[in-house]
Structure 1
């Protein structure tokens, strides 16, 4: 372990995986303009904004196929 507390996020990050943090989830289609950013570039959490599960799932698949944030936290902004 590289000094991170033993958490689910820490375990994934230590293994070189990507952890996704998303806001409030909603039903609906995938957003055609979806994107993924690193945690430092993510907008502040806004509880009035929702992101669809389909959008988060698509972002996770994109990251699995073409990793851009290995060993880091990624955010699919709503």
Structure 2
């Protein structure tokens, strides 16, 4: 939590991801704030490639600066 707070205080985006898998990047991925996150479900997974792509998207075009973001495979 201390690391999250440091990033947020600097205006950065913190990514939290659910259960990770080794699948391909989701072509229908989306990134939401924690307030729009679906209920936690251990059966729901997101691929590491999808998380990485979401992080790169945010680095190129910041949309969630200063917030916690959750990448989702839709």
- TM-score interval w.r.t. the shorter chain? over 0.9
User: Superposition RMSD on alpha carbons, in Å?
Assistant: 1.1
Indicate which of 14, 27, 39 corresponds to 1:44: 39
Equivalent residues, number:
73
d(CA) in 1 for partners of 2:39 and 2:2? Answer: 23
Q: Taking structure 2 as the reference length, what is the TM-score of the superposition? A: 0.93
**Partner residue of 1:68 out of 59, 63, 68:** 63
Question: Is it true that 1:19 corresponds to 2:14 in the alignment?
Answer: yes
Structure 2: distance between partners of 1:37 and 1:49: 15
Q: TM-score, normalised by structure 1?
A: 0.89
- Which stretches of structure 1, 4 residues or more, deviate above 3 A after TM superposition? none
In the alignment, which of 1, 5, 14 is matched to residue 10 of structure 1? 5
Partner of 1:28: 23
Query: What residue ranges of structure 1 are gaps of 5+ in the alignment?
Result: 1-5
